[in-house]
Structure 1
Amino acid sequence: MTRSRFDVEALDEVDPFEVDDQLIHLYKHEGMDLCDVYEVWMDNPLFYPGREEGPADWLMVGQVPGDILLVPLMPGSRANKARPVGVYQVRGSLDRQYREDSG
């Protein structure tokens, strides 16, 4: 059975993220923070489905100056919000896939 995922097209264009107690968790990732999450969002990111058994519905991937970043997204409490649960440098097969898909 395929999991139900939130609709990324429904996210608020200006303020798509719901961040509260997981903010501290975001700051643990490779010296990146919420500003990096918004930079990825503003880059016209590509969205890839998260693993069926994983916590994230979507993997938001975009290029920022000097790097390609991945932000796993869980559903927010409202349909127009998502909860970023980390921010990472993209590596491996997803890096290749993003470069191929983004042209």
Structure 2
Amino acid sequence: MRILIIEDDKGISQVLKRGLEAHSHQIVIAARGEEGLDLATDETIELVLLDISLPGLNGHQVLEQLRARRPRMPVIMLTARDDLKNKIAALHAGADDYLTKPFAFEE
């Protein structure tokens, strides 16, 4: 599976990359919202892991625009924002799941 990680924390994105590659996934990383949105429109991307706190477009904005372009793209929010308001907003905007940091890789 080809997975796009949109995450501005290089340490977190590298941990995710190594873990997912160990399970034979191909990983693409973007550190900014705009870059991630551009990459997510590539038809070879099969899943997006999306942070909320990003430079440029934030994760909510990326999700909204991505849903307009690729409505069936699976998107999992992966963020430190654990408040109910952000969870509800992301899920109502079309996120398929919402995981909070810190997380166990097995999640």
- What's the TM-score, normalizing by structure 1? 0.28
If each structure's helix is expressed as a fraction of its own residues, which one has the higher value?
2
- What's the TM-score, normalizing by structure 2? 0.27
Higher relative contact order (CA 8 A, sep 6+): 1
